[in-house]
Copies of this chain bind each other. A is one copy, B any other.
Amino acid sequence: MSSKELIYQAAAKLFKEKGYAATSMRELALQVGIEASSLYNHIKSKEEILQEICLRNAGKFTDGMKIIQENSNLNALQKLESIIRLHVQIASDDISSVTVFNDEWKHLKEPALSDFLKLRIQYEQSVKSIIQEGIEKELLKKVDIEVALFSFLTSLRWIHYKFAKGRISSDRLTENLKNILIFGLAKS
């Protein structure tokens, strides 16, 4: 692993534990095991690290969504299921990194903040059009799309909080979320 990558990983861990604002470059150097001054041979600033973490995770979601959208074999229900799997996968891949992406993005500075928000809006738009498609094809109930979008993504956005400790396997979590979010709690 490159020094830069080691720094990103250590930073994600610290930002997750203490929050971005409360983490100093000195602590980061200590965590990586190098001199604080040497940090700057690899990265420009704390901001740069946050940017990299947030945009890298946003990229994972955007790329995953692109694959789902372009797969013409999937109907809207299967696309929603694939989105659930994508979120579970990314959350379990690198819990520190996804927590920072989720909780600390507000500290991004311009123009990174605008880039980030743009990707987020695009992502929500994609989920929305899948829900819309599902309603049109009569695979989904005629629900209010904003409420459906909100409820679906809110549940997925916080899974790393609750299910980080390996209490449940990724497959079992995906299967349960699919049942609950798409097919409902009620026994039909």
Contact = CB atoms under 8 A, between A and B. Distances in A.
Copies of this chain per assembly: 2
B131 A151 contact: no
A147 B185 contact: no
Interface residues on A, range: 35 or more
Interface in A130-186: 131, 134, 138-141, 143-144, 146-148, 150-152, 154-155, 158-159, 162-163, 167-168, 172-173, 176-177, 179-186
A181 B176 contact: no
Contacts of A138: 187
Contacts of A147: 163, 168, 173, 176-177, 180
Nearest to A155: B151
A110 B180 CA distance: 37
A151 B154 CA distance: 8
B154 A176 contact: no
29 contacts: A77-B186, A140-B185, A141-B179, A141-B183, A143-B176, A143-B179, A143-B180, A144-B173, A146-B162, A146-B167, A147-B163, A147-B168, A147-B173, A147-B177, A148-B180, A148-B185, A150-B155, A150-B158, A150-B159, A151-B155, A152-B180, A152-B185, A180-B184, A182-B184, A182-B186, A183-B185, A184-B184, A184-B186, A188-B188
